């Protein structure tokens, strides 16, 4: 959510930003928001004047009563009574108009960083840099489901019976490798100075509305029936919600946290759910990184965070590239975002494994997260990035470490989590 002062002082900038995101249908909202804001301020002015008048008239009534001028006092009491009725009407109208304004403000997209490339959708995202040499072996890399099944490590048929499409059982070495990668990601971030946290896996609607747009919420999240609770779609929502309506001490900034959680997503729409593989599923596990910092430090943290993902994946023998997200591909709360994509030797192309985002003060404004220092009280900036998410990260791991005989070489950083194993072999 943007600052209302920006609408008051520079509405054309807000409109131009909407155009860059190819959301022209939202342009009328700018003028509508300005009109509602003016109405709120006019109501406030009228209410303040009436309260001031009421105080003055009340003083007069007291004086007249002491002088036994009852008729004059009663006439002024009638005026005060009318003023009180009008004040009540104003207060009610203020609440209604403010709610209408907030609803619109939640829809108007955040102001993009000037470095964000302009484009309509993800097809116009821009490759920035590659890290690690993508290799295509002279032998076939099987489909991810086939690799997992060769280790007796995947059972989607049983998961279909227990839970339906989009769910899976990971078994044996594959389950262990999955957990090894999550544990390594946790320790990797702890070594970077991040505090480890396991958050609640359900969050209330006010937190959801504070961290994402309505469209994202509807497309992604599972609602708990008859409860004001949603299953977590990603742990940064719960982690940012942890400090809602708080004034964080400036000396404690930056706050850097890494969090583990299972994640639950509808994954509805054009992508659909894979019949066999585990690339797009309803349930997965993720290690996340979250930063709350001073506004002037947020871009430095943004660049540190996506590079952490690069280093993590490269350390597991997985080549990656950084892809700058264009304006039309950014969620409305984001100031700047990039994807880290892993190389798939089977598909001979890259696929997304991490998403790093700077949200400026948008989430902090929605959730009223502030800090206080010498310059007064101000909103913090929030950032998040995937450390690793599995099974998508697991796909990158097994494809890039797959051997011609069907075995998988365990990257050195993961061996300690695999009981010292350096290679695992298929069962069939």
Both tokens of residue 421?
A: 């194993």
Return the CATH number at 357. Answer: 3.30.930.10
How far is it, in rounded angstroms, from Cα 149 to Cα 159?
A: 14
Q: Are 196 and 64 within one domain?
A: no
pLDDT the model gives residue 220: 83
Domain range for 31 is 4-105
72 and 213 fall within a common domain: no
Do 44 and 69 share a domain, yes or no? Answer: yes
Give the pLDDT score at 365: 95
Give residue 275's pLDDT: 60
Residue 243 lies in a domain: yes
Task: Note the pLDDT of residue 270.
Answer: 40
Cis peptide before 254 (omega within 30 of 0): yes
SS3 291: strand
| pLDDT beneath 70: ranges in the chain | 214, 268-275, 428
For residue 73, the model assigns a pLDDT of 86
In degrees and rounded to multiples of 5, residue 357 shows phi and psi of: -135, 140
The distance of Cα 21 from the centroid of its chain, to the nearest Å, equals 18
In a domain, 112, yes or no: no
Same domain, 248 and 370: yes
- Note the pLDDT of residue 269: 44
Q: What is the DSSP string of 217-260?
A: HHHHPPBPTTSS-EE-SSHHHHHHHTTTT-EEEGGGPSEEEEEE
Question: What's residue 327's pLDDT?
Answer: 97
Tell me: do 97 and 208 sit in the same domain.
no
Provide the whole-model pTM.
0.89
CB 18 within 8 A of CB 7: no
Q: How far is residue 384's CA from residue 357's CA, in Å, rounded to a whole number?
A: 6
Task: Supply the DSSP symbol for 118.
Answer: P
Are 303 and 414 in a shared domain?
A: yes
Q: Is residue 117 part of a domain?
A: no
Nearest to 224 by CA among 201, 244, 246: 201
**Whether 196 and 307 share a structural domain:** yes
- If asked whether residues 135 and 101 sit together in one domain, one would say no
- Domain presence at residue 337: yes
| Residue 214, pLDDT score | 67
Whether residue 127 lies inside any domain: the answer is yes
Q: How far apart are alpha carbons 358 and 254 in whole angstroms?
A: 14
Q: Are residues 29 and 132 in the same domain?
A: no
Residues 74, 46 within the same domain: yes
* DSSP-derived secondary structure letter, 110: P
Domain tally for the chain?
Answer: 2
Do residues 230 and 86 share a domain? no
Check which CATH number belongs to the domain holding 50 and give it.
Answer: 1.10.287.40
Is 135 found in the same domain as 86? no
Choosing from 50, 75, 105, the residue where a domain stops is 105
């Amino acid at each position: 959510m943007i600052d209302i002062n920006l609408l008051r002082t520079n509405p054309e900038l807000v409109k131009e930003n909407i155009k860059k995101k190819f959301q022209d249908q939202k342009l009328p909202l700018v003028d509508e928001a300005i009109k509602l804001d003016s109405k709120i301020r006019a109501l406030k002015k009228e209410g303040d004047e009436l309260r001031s008048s009421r105080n003055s008239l009340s003083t007069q009534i007291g004086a007249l009563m002491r002088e036994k001028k009852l008729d004059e006092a009663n006439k002024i009491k009638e005026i005060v009574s009318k003023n009180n009725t009008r004040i009540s009407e104003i207060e009610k109208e203020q609440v209604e108009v403010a709610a209408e304004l907030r609803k619109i403000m939640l829809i108007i997209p955040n102001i993009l960083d000037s470095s964000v490339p302009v484009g309509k959708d993800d097809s116009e995202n821009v490759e920035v840099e590659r890290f690690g040499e993508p290799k295509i072996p002279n032998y076939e890399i099987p489909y991810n489901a086939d690799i997992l099944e060769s280790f007796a490590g995947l059972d989607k048929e049983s998961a279909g019976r227990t839970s339906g499409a989009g769910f899976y059982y990971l078994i044996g070495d594959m389950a262990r490798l999955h957990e090894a990668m999550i544990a390594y990601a946790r320790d990797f971030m702890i070594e970077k100075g991040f505090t480890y946290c396991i958050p609640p896996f359900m969050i209330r609607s006010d937190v959801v509305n504070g961290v994402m747009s309505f469209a994202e919420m509807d497309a992604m999240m599972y609602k708990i029936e008859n409860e004001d609770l949603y299953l977590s779609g990603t742990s940064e929502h719960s982690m940012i919600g942890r400090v809602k309506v708080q004034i964080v001490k400036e000396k404690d900034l930056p706050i850097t946290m890494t969090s583990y959680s299972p994640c639950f997503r509808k994954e509805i729409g054009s992508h659909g759910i894979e019949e066999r593989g585990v690339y797009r599923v309803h349930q997965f596990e993720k290690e996340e990184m979250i930063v709350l910092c001073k506004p002037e430090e947020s871009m430095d943290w943004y660049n540190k965070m996506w590079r952490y993902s690069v280093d993590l994946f490269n350390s597991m023998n997985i080549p990656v590239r950084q892809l700058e997200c264009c304006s039309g591909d950014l969620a409305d709360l984001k100031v700047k975002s990039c994807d880290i994509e892993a190389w798939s030797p089977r598909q001979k192309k890259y696929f997304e494994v991490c998403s790093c985002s700077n949200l400026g003060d948008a989430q902090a404004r929605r959730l009223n997260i502030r800090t206080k220092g010498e310059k007064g009280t101000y909103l913090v900036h929030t950032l998040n990035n995937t450390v690793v998410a599995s099974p998508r990260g697991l796909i990158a791991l097994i494809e890039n470490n797959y051997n011609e005989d069907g075995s998988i070489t365990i990257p050195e950083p993961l061996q300690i989590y695999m009981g010292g194993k350096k290679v695992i072999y298929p069962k069939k």
